[in-house]
């Protein structure tokens, strides 16, 4: 279990540092569709790297929403779930802190914030839909251990939801990924990001629950046939 904790900790740290770092750099030099694409590619590639490095040890969840879906689907126990989530949040904080240390206080850290014209309920619904799509993909690709293309598919799925969601919420689909940067901004005296953090807990977790339900229903139908 300790090795899984370490894997999830460093995997999430890696994801936040590289993906949020790429997003921060992109925000400083790109805009519009190009900005969304660069951010999406950054998150997708970072996840692919995580999966093919720590995946054999922990499954490379690096996301509490993914772990929740796996718990609900019976693929992990509650104790293991708690260990994963703690590791993921600590890793996200570590990754955001490292990014702040190296890039300085002016770095955006790729914090999440709903668009100005988007109501709270809209942000929650968008995050739930994006997370459901991503987590459902992860559940499907990891159902069989002999499928070695899971990393590529899951990375592309994460990139896909970012292309759509960046303009609306910055795309979280991961409560830990959002918490790390928001906490660093709070320490800097910018509490508005932590003030809306709950949106990026409710939306992704609701999406994870929906993904687990849909997966079980569809999976059972296939087994029945």
| Domains by residue range for the chain, with CATH | 2-224 (1.20.1080.10)
Distances (CA, A) of 81 to 70, 85, 217: 9, 6, 22
Check whether 92 has a pLDDT greater than 70.
yes
In whole angstroms, give the CA distance from residue 95 to residue 180.
7
Query: At residue 9, does pLDDT exceed 80?
Result: yes
46-75 pLDDT, tens digit each: 999 998 888 888 878 999 999 999 999 999
* Average of per-residue pLDDT across 29-52: 82
Q: What is the pLDDT of residue 223?
A: 47
Residue 29 has a pLDDT of 60
Q: How many CB atoms lie within 10 A of CB 121?
A: 10
Higher pLDDT: 137 or 38? It is 137
Q: How far apart are the first and last CA of the chain?
A: 37
Q: Is the pLDDT of residue 224 over 60?
A: no
Tell me the HSE value of 177 on the side-chain side, using a 13 A CA sphere. 32
* Residue 11: closest CA among 149, 39, 3: 3
Mean pLDDT across the stretch 203-217? Answer: 96
- Mean of pLDDT over the chain: 91
Whether pLDDT at 201 is above 60: yes
Stated pTM of the model = 0.92
């Amino acid at each position: 279990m300790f090795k899984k904790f370490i894997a999830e900790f460093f995997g999430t740290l890696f994801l936040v540092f590289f993906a949020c770092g790429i997003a921060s750099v992109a925000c400083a030099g790109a805009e519009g569709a190009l900005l969304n694409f660069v951010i999406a590619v950054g998150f997708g590639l970072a996840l692919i790297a995580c999966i093919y490095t720590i995946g054999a040890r922990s499954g490379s969840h690096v996301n509490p929403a993914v772990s929740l879906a796996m718990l609900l689907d019976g693929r992990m126990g509650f104790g293991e779930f708690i260990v994963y989530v703690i590791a993921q949040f600590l890793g996200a904080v570590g990754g955001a802190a490292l990014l702040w240390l190296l890039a300085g206080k002016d770095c955006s850290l790729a914090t999440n914030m709903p668009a100005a014209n988007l109501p709270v309920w809209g942000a929650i619904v968008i995050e739930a839909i994006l997370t459901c799509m991503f987590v459902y993909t992860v559940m499907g690709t990891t159902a069989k251990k002999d499928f070695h293309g899971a990393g590529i598919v899951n990375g592309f799925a994460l990139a896909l939801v970012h292309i759509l969601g960046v303009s609306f919420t910055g795309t979280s689909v991961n409560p830990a990924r959002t918490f790390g940067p928001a906490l660093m901004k709070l320490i800097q005296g910018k509490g508005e990001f932590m003030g809306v953090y709950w949106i990026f807990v409710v939306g992704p977790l609701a999406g994870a629950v929906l993904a687990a339900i849909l997966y079980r229903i569809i999976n059972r139908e296939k087994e029945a046939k």
